[in-house]
Structure 1
Amino acid sequence: MNRDSIQFYALYLTRFAGGFGVITLVTLLPQYIQTLDPTGVSVFGLFSVGAGFVIGMYTTGFTLAQTVAVVPLAWAGDRLDKGTVLVSVLALGTAAYALFPFVDSSLAFIGARALQGVAVTGAGLMSLALVGEISSVGTRANNIGKANASAFAASILGSLSAGLLYDAFGFTSIFAIIVVLMTVATVTVWLFLDEDETRISGFPFSDLALNRRILTIASFRTQYAVAVTLVRTWIPIYAGLSAIDGGLGYASLAVSFTVVAEKFTNMLFQPKMGTLSDRYGRALFVFVGGGLYGLIALAVPFSPAIGAALGLPETYPVLGPLSAAFLPLVGLSGLLGVADSFREPASMALFADEGTDDGGVASSFGIRELLWRPGSVAAPLVGGWLMTEVGMEWVFYVGGAFAITGVCSFLAILAYDFGPAALTEW
């Protein structure tokens, strides 16, 4: 095994550890919503905050911290040793996950999520920047796909174990496992990652922000962030909340299956889709994946109707009584993973291409993160309001609509600025 391979595996391990932690919190959101009572939050005891806003802040606190952290962390990655920055944020993440067993209020949970958001952003930026930097152009999307597949493998294990362990032991045992994983990842990167000799002076954000390809894909990414944040966050909420709150009332293990389905199919297809985008270009895969995601998201609220029409069973071994919506919801979640496997490695490789060519690969990924942030910050607040005031199904209608308008905008700007053939030439 050559030195580059060892470094890739060390970076894949960080993606695995990070993915395990992130998905655990997503899977357990319904339990936190019910345990921490978002209806009882007030500001300095003077006035109460609406439950929809507090539920939205459970995710927005995380994404808001990510937004604030992107620029300084990306700048540090280009100006300093990316490996050193990566070790630092992994250590911070270890500390953040160690705090979760002590959370006893909505405000404390939001604060811990914010600390987690800083760590997740730094680890994601540095690991992907290093994978992109070490890779050659012809293998870049494939290696990024493998890195993402590691995160999805962890997501599958994390989601299943979160449901099982929570039902058996509560929150503490889950976070003990995450802390051990994060510690192992931190030590492995510290021991096996070569010194990063790339140093970029100045402020690469200013040049890359005007890059024509980045500006073009921004038209898609800013809208698609709303779609993915709503759909990924609300599928487990939809599955886990009681029927009176607009959900299906499934237990934690059944909720885990709805999350795992997307992660498994994404993990399975992403390396191959990355290879194909290395061979045939990036833009087509972004367009097809984003459009499919939107169409599938629109179908999620029809899971009960699909199950009833097909006469699907309502009781399952181990899982017990559920409803006819269970298999359609798991199937649609899996299809969302297939759709996103088209889009994600192609999009990441495009940003890595531009960052490597222009200098500042960490800043290029930083811009990618920043484009995601407005939608991911606003979407949970919108989703919380839609869920409590309009209806759970409207979370998925709005999410699907944003994905479809995103790909339409991307195609229109791409054709206008680069010509009709650009969809297959990028």
Structure 2
Amino acid sequence: CRAGQIREIVNLAKSPLFIWLSISIGLFQMGRLVVMTFLPIYLQEHLGYSPFVLGFYIALQHAMGTISQPVLGFLSDRFGRKATLFPSFILLGLLFVLIAVVQPGIQLALVIGTVGLFFYTLLNVVLATVMDVADPKIQASAYGLTSLVTHIVVFPSPMLAGMMVDDYGIGSTFWFAGALVIAGAFVLTPLKLYKGTRTK
């Protein structure tokens, strides 16, 4: 009944596992939003790349995500959510930092392409993780609740990054984004998440 579903949603919202998972997802999404905001600015205004080259890099990210999506999905189902998310968050955070460090040209293209392996695909694994911790009757509500929490946390991140650009240069935004995603990985470490079919 409706009252029972509402009660389950309230109980989920008070669950420490759900709260810490939402915090981890929020940090991940903060890092993504910072990169989504400032990577085009970095490529066009600071490196002088044309709109065509910018479009190429965005297309490259999507293409790499298309390749990695079934792979990460399989690994997540087979070896567990944390075993997939933790190293992926760490790698993505380090790749964000590398955007600010590597030389323009082939090095930067390789880094951005590798970012694409995780940038969009991890959202599907995150969604599956939220579904795992919720009762089947309220899974859509659980994801909606997670989205509400993360959006509240995430929306100031581009403004904070913009302040950092003024003081420390645009490269600092990628360090900031990397630190956020890596912090999200470590928030996951104590959580008891789905361990995959290999453990059965």
After TM superposition, the score normalised by the length of structure 1 is 0.42
Note the residue ranges of structure 2 that are not aligned, 5 or more in a row: none
- Once the two structures are superposed, the pairs formed by residues 167-246 of structure 1 within 5 Å of their partners are 202=6, 205-241=9-45
Counterpart in the other structure of 2:71: 272
Counterpart in the other structure of 1:170: none
Partner Cα separation in structure 2 for residue 201 and residue 404 of structure 1: 34
Counterpart in the other structure of 2:128: 349
- The one-letter code matched in structure 2 to 1:405 is A
Counterpart in the other structure of 2:140: 362
Counterpart in the other structure of 2:169: 391
C-alpha displacement of 1:382: 1.2
Cα distance per residue 1:388-409 (max 9 Å; x no partner): 3320100001111111122122
Partner Cα separation in structure 2 for residue 344 and residue 283 of structure 1: 14
Is the Cα contact below 8 Å between 1:235 and 1:258 reproduced in 2? no
Following TM superposition, the consecutive aligned residue runs of length 4 or more in structure 1 with deviations greater than 6 angstroms are none
- The one-letter code matched in structure 2 to 1:362 is A
**2:83 corresponds to 1:284:** yes
Q: Mark the structure with the bigger radius of gyration.
A: 1
- Three-state SS of the structure 2 residue aligned to 1:360 is helix
- Once the two structures are superposed, the pairs formed by residues 290-329 of structure 1 within 5 Å of their partners are 290-304=89-103, 325-329=104-108
Counterpart in the other structure of 1:377: 155
- The one-letter code matched in structure 2 to 1:298 is V
- The one-letter code matched in structure 2 to 1:403 is V
Cα distance per residue 1:255-298 (max 9 Å; x no partner): 11222222211121112221221222212111111111111111
Is the Cα contact below 8 Å between 2:129 and 2:194 reproduced in 1? no
Larger relative CO (CA 8 A, sep 6+): 1 or 2? 2
After TM superposition, the score normalised by the length of structure 2 is 0.85
- The one-letter code matched in structure 1 to 2:81 is R
Is the Cα contact below 8 Å between 1:355 and 1:361 reproduced in 2? yes
- The one-letter code matched in structure 2 to 1:229 is L
Cα distance per residue 1:369-417 (max 9 Å; x no partner): 1232134201110122222332010000111111112212221x32xxx
- Three-state SS of the structure 1 residue aligned to 2:6 is coil
- Once the two structures are superposed, the pairs formed by residues 10-89 of structure 1 within 5 Å of their partners are none
Change (3 A) 1:342 1:301: same
Partner Cα separation in structure 1 for residue 16 and residue 162 of structure 2: 35
Is the Cα contact below 8 Å between 2:42 and 2:170 reproduced in 1? yes
Cα distance per residue 1:179-216 (max 9 Å; x no partner): xxxxxxxxxxxxxxxxxxxx985365312212343233
- Three-state SS of the structure 2 residue aligned to 1:250 is coil
**2:184 corresponds to 1:406:** yes
**How much identity, in percent, do the aligned residues show?**
22
C-alpha displacement of 1:356: 4.5
**2:50 corresponds to 1:251:** yes
1:336 pairs with one of 111, 115, 119: 115
Q: CA RMSD in A?
A: 2.5
Partner Cα separation in structure 1 for residue 101 and residue 126 of structure 2: 30
